[in-house]
Every structure is written in C-alpha cells, then in structure tokens.
Chain A
C-alpha cells in the first residue's frame, strides 16, 4: 500500500476516543477512507456508530478525549460544524430536525450559497437556484413540493428522508455520511435513495453509511464493511461480511451483545 494510498486518503481516524456525558463511547477507533470508497458501518445498538458520525460532524454532545482525525490533510478537530460542512462533510440525520418558520427552499439556497462563498465562488440567485433544483429533482424523480414548506415542519418520516436527499444532491458533498437513511422507508423509497447515492458516486466522493439492513447494501455495494463493537472496529471485510452477518447474526460471527 504505502505512500501512494496514504497520499490519496480522504479521511484518517486514529485511535479516536470520544465521550458523551462523560461516558466513553468510542474507545480507540481507527478508520481510513479513500476517495471513491463506500464504507458500511454495522454493529449492535450502542456500539458507537452514530457517535462516530456525529463526532465527524462536530456534534455538541461528542467530546473528543483522544486521538486524531485528518480530513483532506487538514486537522478536522480544529474546524467547527459549518466549516466541516463547507469542506464537504454531509451527515444525513436519522431524525431530521423540524424548524418551523424557516422556508425549506430559502434554507437550502442559503446553505448552497454559504458553501459557494466558502469556496470563493459567486452566489447563485433565486432563478439559477430554482433551475438547478428542478434539474436535480427531475433527474432523480424526487417530488420537490417539499421545498415550498417550512424546513421539515410537519413532514412525515418519508418526506424528511426525501428532503435529506434533495439537500444531499444540491450541496454535493465529498464525504457522505448516512445515518440509517433507510429506516422507516418502504422498498420503493429505499430504491430512490440508492439511485441517488449511486448516481452521485463519481470515484471521488466517499460514503460512510450506518445501516441495520442488507437491503440498502444490496443496492449500494460497499467496498468495506466494518463491525463496530464497544467503541472499536473489531472486524472489517467486504460485502460478504454483511451477508455472513445477515445469515449468522452478531453472535454467530463472534460479537457479544451485552444488551441481551
């Protein structure tokens, strides 16, 4: 491997230790993600999957107590939430937050323009933005009526996830983190999600996804499957590991589930 791959690493997590409310959740986690790779994170509840994704987004609950995270050769821990987002880190929320009073379309346009300004590009005006939205949603068959409403306000579970997809498409991030984007979705909706993600994969973008179901993994084939247990990655394999897990369960592949 050596120097060639090292140079191309997008995300490098070393011996990461994170606590939430003074309880240590991640206990020395290591993970490398290179451009274009799809990584799936699996594990029993409470293993620390969401904590990892939240830590990468600088969530206020997560206190990093050890280790390092390098992203695009920069120290990620030095950046705040918005900066990380503008550097191309996107986290799809398990439960997208409702923000009454804030128009969805206005919100998204602001976000798109913040990123453009961050990158030293000119802001898009309302007309350009609408055109862009129409193109992107039409291309993937996503209903854009959601944009006229307030941000996630009164959305159904499915609508919230669809809204996350629209944001994902327009913000066009480099590291896409999906925290159970498939939860609560029917088969057709999961297919839409997979189509969007697959269409976005251009060999440069990377994905870190948390899922309990192999349904999503069938549609978005991971290059790596990691099993997380007690705050560490204990097993890494390819797609076959997910299949094995589906067949034998966590205990069957030697992972203790202390919650049972």
Chain B
C-alpha cells in the first residue's frame, strides 16, 4: 500500500528527482503466479470480487494454449520472463537521454517540447498537468452524469456497473490473450454515458495512458445507455522505446437501445527495426455488443506501429436494426507483420454491417486481412458490404486476404470486394515530374488509397493519422 501511495504522490506532484528510482523499485519481479495477481489487485485496492475474477481467469488461462492460426511469425513468448506490474518505459531525467530518432519523429508530428518529454517517458510535471486537464473535463462530464475514469477507480466508485459489464462482451475464456488480460490487467478507461445523453466532447485516452506510463494490459469498458452517443479516441501515438514487449489489451463496448458508440484508434507503438528486432507484440481483443435495437457501433483504426499486430475489432449485432462498422488502415513496413480484420456477427433482424479495410505493405512488411461475417438463423434481412484493398510498395512485401462467411439465414445479402494494387514506378515518376519529391508522391498515393477510412476519423485525429502514414512509410521508396 505504501508503494502505491508513493507512485500516486509522484504522479500528482512535480517531484522530478528520484522518479526513476521509484519506478524501478516498484517494478514487480518477472514471472506470473497467484501472488503476483494478488499483489496487483492489492496495489489497486480492489474489492474482493475483482480479485476473484482475476484468479479465476488465471486458472483458466493456465489451461489454454496460445493461438497459432494467424499469419504471424514470432519467437515463443516466455510468460514467466515478463514483469506484470511495471511502467513499460524507463523514466529518463532529460530529453538528452532520448533516442534522437524518436525526437525527430516528434518534431515531424509537431508535438510541443513539453509534450515530447512526456511522450518519451521523461519524468516531468506535465504528468501533473495532464491529470488536471482531465479533472477539468471530469467535472463538466459529471454534471451530465457521464462517468469517465480508470477501471481501478470504477472498481471502487461504480462497482455495480463494472461488475455488470466486465467480461460481458469478451468473456474471460474468449481467447488466450483476453484471458491473460482478465487475470493481470493494470489499467484502462471506464466510460458510462447515461440514457439520452450526447457526450459533448471526444473522450480520449491520449493523456492518461502516456501520463501513467502504463499500457501493457489495459482493459477498457464503454457503456452507452439507451439513446446516448459517445465518440472515444484511443491514441497510442507515443512511439515506445521498449524492447520487444507484449501488449495484450481488451476493449469491451456495449450499446443499448438507440445508442451509438464511435471508437477511433491510432496505434503507433514502436514497430521494431528493419531486421525485426524489438517492437511491440500487439495482441488485442476489441469487441462491441449492439445489445439494443437500433444501436450502432463503429470502429475506425489506423494501425501504423507494432512489430506484430493481432487485432480484430468486432461487432455483435444482437439488437434488431443494429449497425456495425469497421474502417481500417493497417501499414506494415520494415519487418512488421499485421494480421488484422474484424468479425461481424449478425444475430438480430435487419442488421447491417460495413467493412472497409485498407492494407498497405512496404519493405518486408506482411499484411493480412482476416474477417468473418456470420449471419445467424434469426437474422432476417441481414446485410454486409465488405471492401478489402491492398496496396503494395516495392517487391519484397506481402498482402493476404482471408474472408470467412457463415450464413445461416437465406435472406442475407453479403457483398465482398477485394483488390490488390501496386504503386507503379510510372505513377511516381509522373508525380515527381511535376515537382513533387518522392516521399510526398508516395504519401499522396497512400492517402488517396486510404481516404475512405481517414474521413471517418475525428478531424484532429485524421491530421495526425496522415502524418503518421507518411512517417511510417518513410524510406520505403528507394
């Protein structure tokens, strides 16, 4: 408990000295067992039901096997060689200690100096600033009855809602990584929008995740009560400095009758280098339940980072007339591998889903779209439109498409379109002959290719996404 208070004090003050020491001393020893889970729960001062939840998940996880079906190649993960409660990045004393390459990236993104320090994991008072920024929002939101806090906070302040919805969309034993997350999750957002409330601002995890310097095992839960609306942005725009590291998050969305949730992600974890050394192994389970009639859940993701991505944001369309959408841009450059897509599970009548996936491969990148459209026997007049396009840059990259369709109701209408194209030398030459440099020429074509998805992002987010696309593909054209 005393350690917990120390961290809390550091975060809430501008005490810079000793931050590194504190973090180091607070890192759990490597390894996973019941004691570690109990310690995590104790640190977070969780109620006993949540500890039980974790321990049950852990027991279950021990009996499960890591999935092998994805088109991904990575060395075996030693789960006993990971610390389960730790700031994933080393805290630094000044920007001078930060990799100059990372600083260059920040400059290109136009991130102010103070924020650069924050993003790079330098111990500064900006952490405090971001907390206060959030508090200001919180007051405004509280007036409307909107809850926006960390999961740990929700466990103590709103246990009845958390208990009701935790693992209600992604069950504990859903898959290997979700099960692991259920046992060891360390942080994440909790959002509840009361009935008939239109959340007046974009909710974002941008500050909080960076501020708390966590993010290995987040758990996010968003509940939109009847007739409400929320747009939530998840920005992992900090290029991480970590060694090869596991990131296994779970996100659960619940939209009740007439509610809408729009969830946007820009994922830019550290991708590793060209030889595939370092970078994040990103195993994420994201699922939304359109529980009530006329509800809608929309996922938009721009995946530019990670060494390896295993991610299928999905929608379970249970309510009649409910709508699921998935808009995705995934880049795999350098030695990145991405196996990503979606699942649209049509259960209710007149349910509709749209899938637009844009995969871009460059250098030695491997990109796979994997998508499932399932129409249950009671889902009369279900409709799905899928469009999966791949763009190849150069001759050493790969793109794959794995669409799966399971239809048990004859009234369903399903359309699937897939294209693969390549940026041709002649296109690049033509654009350059009009005075545009090669990198801008590529970025122009790539942005054109992705524009259907980018237009789904909130405005500031879209600008950031464009910059990121350019940076991610830098050097991919010789």
Contacts and interface: CB of A to CB of B under 8 A. Distances in A.
Interface stretch (B13-21, B287-295, B441-449): B441-449
Interface in A71-109: 80-82, 85-86, 90-91, 93, 96-103, 107-108
B432 interface: yes
Interface residues of A, number: 29
B25 interface: no
Given A103-B448, A111-B436, A96 B430 contact: yes
A85 B434 contact: yes
Contact of B425 (A60, A82, A111): A60
Interface residues on B, range: 20 to 34
A118 interface: yes
Interface string B417-449: 000000011110111111111101000110111
A100 B448 contact: yes
Contacts, number: 70
A180 interface: no
Contacts of A57: 429, 433
Contacts of B424: 97
A240 interface: no
Nearest to B446: A101
A65 B432 CA distance: 23
Interface in A144-201: 150, 167, 171
A115 interface: yes
A85 B447 CA distance: 23
A55 to B, nearest CB: 13
A24 interface: no
A82 B438 contact: yes
Nearest to A86: B435
A60 to B, nearest CB: 6
Given A82-B435, A150-B448, A114 B440 contact: yes
A115 B429 contact: no
B466 to A, nearest CB: 12
Given A60-B425, A97-B426, A85 B445 contact: no
B433 A91 contact: yes
Contacts of A115: 435
B157 interface: no
A254 B277 CA distance: 66
B400 to A, nearest CB: 22
Contacts of A99: 427, 430-431, 444-445, 448
A257 to B, nearest CB: 29
A102 B435 contact: no
Nearest to B448: A101
A80 B440 CA distance: 14
A45 interface: no
A107 B444 contact: yes
A85 B433 contact: yes
B75 to A, nearest CB: 38
B444 A81 contact: no
B430 A97 contact: yes
B433 A101 contact: no
B8 interface: no
Interface string B177-201: 0000000000000000000000000
Nearest to B444: A102
A244 to B, nearest CB: 34
Interface string B377-421: 000000000000000000000000000000000000000000000
Contacts of A108: 434
B435 A59 contact: no
Contact of B448 (A93, A97, A102): A102
A59 to B, nearest CB: 6
B437 A82 contact: yes
A169 to B, nearest CB: 13
B3 interface: no
B432 A110 contact: no
Contacts of A150: 448
A108 B435 CA distance: 10
A114 B440 CA distance: 10
B430 A93 contact: yes
Contacts of B440: 110, 114
B321 to A, nearest CB: 33
Contacts of B426: 97
A171 B429 contact: no
Given A81-B429, A97-B426, A97-B427, A114 B437 contact: yes
B451 interface: yes
A96 B436 CA distance: 16
A107 B431 CA distance: 8
A224 B467 CA distance: 49
Given A59-B429, A82-B437, 19 more contacts: A80-B432, A81-B429, A85-B432, A85-B433, A93-B433, A97-B424, A97-B426, A97-B429, A97-B430, A98-B427, A99-B430, A99-B448, A100-B448, A101-B445, A101-B449, A110-B436, A111-B434, A114-B436, A167-B434
The 6 closest A-B pairs by CB, nearest first: A101-B448, A81-B432, A85-B435, A97-B430, A111-B434, A102-B448
Interface of A: 57, 59-60, 80-82, 85-86, 90-91, 93, 96-103, 107-108, 110-111, 114-115, 118, 150, 167, 171
22 contacts: A57-B429, A57-B433, A60-B429, A80-B438, A81-B438, A82-B432, A82-B435, A82-B438, A85-B435, A97-B427, A98-B427, A99-B427, A99-B430, A99-B445, A99-B448, A101-B447, A102-B444, A103-B448, A110-B436, A114-B435, A114-B436, A118-B435
